[in-house]
Amino acid sequence: MELIKVGVIGSGAMGSGIAQVAAMAGHEVHVYDANPVAAQSAANNLKISIQKLVEKGKCTPEKSEEVLKNIFFQSSIDKLNYCELIIEAIVESIDVKKEVFSALESIVSDTCILASNTSSLSIASIASACNKPERFIGIHFFNPANIMPLVEIIPALQTDNTITNKSIELIKSWGKTVVVCKDTPGFIVNRVARSFYGEAIRLAEEGIADYATIDWAMKEIGGFKMGPFELMDFIGHDVNYKVTETVWEQLFFDPRFKPSLTQKRLYEAKRFGRKSSVGFYDYREGALNAEASKDVELGNYIFKRIISMLINEAIDTLYLNIASMEDIDLAMTKGVNYPKGLLRWADELGLGTVLEELESLMSTYEEDRYRPSVLLKHMVRENKHFY
């Protein structure tokens, strides 16, 4: 790919990570942050991050110097005027994002691609703030952007196809795994993964198992690298709860995505997880947390219930033409490190088994959150599979 000047707005963990990825690919990168203290901190952290690559043998000292010389921290947004691609990575507020892009249009050229790294907000809505919405697109990296391989490309209704194709090729040239999805709340990963958290919390709220046992079941029986409560504490409830709330609201309060009061109370108490030392677990020095029961029968029940919910959501994502079968499975393995693609997993477990579990839950609870996907029912009836 031709080397271009890349702009990044926001110097937090995500913005810095995107800047590093672009600079490593040889681009000249200009990072703007309205907060000079944050920008200085980001500059220092970038040097540390790239030095670690040198120490691990993943980058030569010469390459590291070149990368750092390619990154410029700007104190004025006007300095991004020569950029040919600008990616915004700031607070998840649609009004703030619209304001930023509206201001950018008076600075950049007509051919500059404008992109948001939003994880759950409407790309079409943000694009509507632009005079040229056809050059606007969603380019969603996963945290940490310099390590996680997946990037979701989300064209808005207004996005020109040439912008979509250019974005796909460019991000691929940065060494990333690219999936394309419809502009829908949560896109692929943050939509499908809601069940991993929501159903786990529901099991704990019902007293079926404690946090440690549910985490143990999903790791030991399911093969997940982290259990749902460990992962929520790692992500932070300030982030995870707000994404859940946003997806639920934007999907017209669909009960399958309903947030839990348990997590809301942690959010309200500012018990965000590891970053605040307390979440579902207590990370303070000397704190004692409950041990997992390691009851295999209970563990199998937990796994079957959560995996069925995850698979159902993945199937519905395909049914609603949000993304292709291949991209859905790729997104979940590369974006959140699931041990298998959920549609491939569905074939292995048996679609009839998954449908039976969901129908049993639906019969027991009589809640719409457990409704099986229409596509799942069709496939079982016709004895079909995904692969």
Q: Please name the helix (run of DSSP H) or strand (run of DSSP E) that holds residue 197, with its range, or none.
A: helix 194-205
Beta partners for residue 169, in sequence order? none
Bridging pattern class, strands 85-88 and 150-155: unpaired
Rounded to 5°, the CA angle 139-140-142 comes to 145
Q: How far apart are CA 66 and CA 54, in angstroms?
A: 12
SS3 141: strand
Is position 285 annotated as part of the catalytic site?
Answer: no
Distances (CA, A) of 132 to 22, 107, 126, 167: 25, 13, 12, 17
Q: Tell me the two tokens of residue 222.
A: 């399911």
Query: Which residue out of 140, 237, 308, 312 is catalytically annotated?
Result: 140
CA-based torsion, 245, 250, 253, 255: positive or negative? negative
Known catalytic residue: 27? no
109 is annotated as an active-site residue: no
User: How far apart, in whole angstroms, are the C-alpha atoms of residue 247 and residue 263?
Assistant: 15
CA nearest to 345, candidates 334, 356, 336, 332: 332
A 10 A CB-CB count for 241 gives: 23
DSSP-assigned letters across all residues of 226-245: S-HHHHHHHH-HHHHHHHHH
Please pick, among 16, 116, 120, 152, the residue that the annotation labels catalytic.
152
Lookup result for tokens 């790791």: 219
Please state whether 383 falls in left (phi above 0), alpha (psi between -120 and 50) or beta.
Answer: left
Which residue from 97, 122, 107 is spatially nearest to 247, judged by alpha carbons?
122
User: Is-catalytic flag, 125?
Assistant: no
- In the set 70, 119, 122, 308, the catalytic residue is 119
**Active-site residue identified among 190, 195, 240, 312:** 190
The pair of structure tokens assigned to 193 is 């993964």
Q: Which active-site residues does the annotation give?
A: 119, 140, 152, 190
